[in-house]
Amino acid sequence: MALPRTYKSVHLARRPTDHITPDIFTVKQDQTSTITALKDGEVLFSPSHLSLDPAMRGWLNDSRSYIPPVKIGAVMRGAGVGSIVASKSSKFRKGEKVYASCGWTELSVLKDNEVEKLELPPNGRITDALGALGMPGLTAYFGILDVGKVKAGDFVVVSGAAGATGSVVGQIAKLKGATVLGLAGSDSKCTWLVNELGFDQALNYKDPSFKQNFRSATKQLIDVYFDNVGGEILDMALSRAKEHARFVMCGGISQYNTKDVQGPKNYLMIVSMRIRMEGFIVFDYAKQYPEAKRQLAQWMAEGKIKRQETILKGGVERLPEALQMLFQGGNTGKLMVEVAAGEEEPRAML
Ligand SMILES: NC(=O)c1ccc[n+]([C@@H]2O[C@H](COP(=O)([O-])OP(=O)(O)OC[C@H]3O[C@@H](n4cnc5c(N)ncnc54)[C@H](OP(=O)(O)O)[C@@H]3O)[C@@H](O)[C@H]2O)c1
């Protein structure tokens, strides 16, 4: 198939001060001919799907973090799955499906060491490389197993439970013999967690009686709390921690849009209950990714890990509004944008 004459990319136009609005990004169009002369070891990549991740909100702030901020004017950072459309590398052939940190663009020139081959189970889809078998799945795997050290008999509470990471956390904890309570933002998400994914219980944190419901659901006290949201829910989990509980600090999405970050008021529970509260960044486990990917793929092949995807159709122009959706709970499971219609079966298209 011939390449289109032009291609589009989404660039950061200005930094947000609090909530993301689509006008912080701008869409630009360039001539394809300007990037098609590849050097040795390079490939031309065209994504079919681009990933939306809460961490992107942090990459827009000009502050010190585990990764430098996206520069004003630059193509927005992000990962995608799709096809090699031209290759001057012996490692990849034209037509091959791959994963790449390509940015929010329809076409990019990448070095072959920036591109990864996909290893999927028989029931896998290429989009799984962005979700349950990709970064969110790996975050769940290392977070609950290595940081949380989950074991049979533990009582585990997961916030952000119906998202890409949380949904896998709860399923791994169940596989290890734990009892799992998930917290999510709607009744339908809670029903999915219990009926489809096998969580023992799920609570809607937007329900007016959430505080009472949480107290009665955590009577046995918490062994492992996997935190994706921070804020008031973290405080509530601290108040119900068992002695020597492990708090896995994965993220705090409720605080990403504010400069006035709410720290835990109940932090003295860390002392009295001898809690181990530990943050982690999945990239630190890069050397162990192959082993974790194999295990996650096996669990998926055996039907022990299920996933859902929320996919926005309509191309790169929809990426800014999709990023906003993460902060409004518009997704169940992994959120992504379909950049180019492919052969994948459509699922939960919006
Ligand atoms: N440490 C690491 O290496 C690492 C790696 C990947 C991800 N993370 C973190 O893991 C968390 C989940 O990421 P993900 O990619 O799996 O995203 P996700 O859970 O698929 O999507 C984000 C979800 O957060 C919930 N949410 C949004 N605003 C909220 C609020 N104010 N309070 C409570 N919940 C809120 C929404 O669901 P509801 O309907 O339930 O509100 C939304 O669906 C994020 O905190 C992310 O930063 C950390």
Q: Per-residue pLDDT for 332 more than 50?
A: yes
| Confidence band for 2, pLDDT divided at 50, 70 and 90 | confident
- Identify the pLDDT of residue 346: 42
130-171 pLDDT, tens per residue? 999 999 999 999 999 999 999 999 999 999 999 999 999 999
Pairing of strands 222-227, 155-158: parallel
Ranges for all domains in the chain classified under CATH 3.90.180.10? 6-131+307-338
pLDDT digits (tens, 9 = 90+) for 159-213: 999 999 999 999 999 999 999 999 999 999 999 999 999 999 999 999 999 999 9
Q: What percent of the chain has pLDDT over 70?
A: 97
What's phi and psi for 43, nearest 5 deg?
-130, 160
Report residues whose beta carbon is within 6 angstroms of any ligand 1 atom: 53-55, 135-136, 139, 160, 162-166, 184-186, 189, 228-229, 250-254, 280-282, 326-327, 329, 331, 335
CATH topology of domain 6-131+307-338: Quinone Oxidoreductase; Chain A, domain 1 (3.90.180)
Measure 159 CA to ligand 1 centroid, in angstroms: 8
Q: Per-residue pLDDT tens for 31-77?
A: 998 988 999 999 999 999 999 999 999 999 999 999 999 999 999 99
Q: Of 18-22, 273-277, 338-342, which range is least confident?
A: 338-342
Strand segments (E) across the chain = 6-12, 25-31, 42-51, 80-87, 97-100, 108-111, 115-117, 155-158, 179-184, 201-204, 222-227, 241-249, 276-279, 309-312, 334-338
CATH class for the region spanning 135-283: alpha beta
Phi-psi region of 103 (alpha: psi -120 to 50; beta: other; left: phi over 0): left
Mutate to test the pocket of ligand 1, among 165, 233, 261 (most ligand atoms within 8 A of CB): 165
Q: What is the pLDDT of residue 80?
A: 98
Residue with CA closest to ligand 1 atom 46: 251
How far apart are the CA of 55 and the centre of ligand 1, in A? 9
pLDDT band at 3 (very low <50, low <70, confident <90, very high): confident
Outline which parts of the chain fall under CATH 3.40.50.720. Answer: 135-283
Q: What is the bridge-based pairing of β-strands 25-31 and 6-12?
A: antiparallel
**Least confident segment among 1-10, 81-90, 175-184, 200-209:** 1-10
- Per-residue pLDDT for 347 more than 90? no
Mutate to test the pocket of ligand 1, among 128, 225, 253 (most ligand atoms within 8 A of CB): 253
Protein residue closest via CA to atom 27 of ligand 1: 327
Cα(105) to centroid(ligand 1), Å: 24
Average pLDDT over residues 13-42: 94
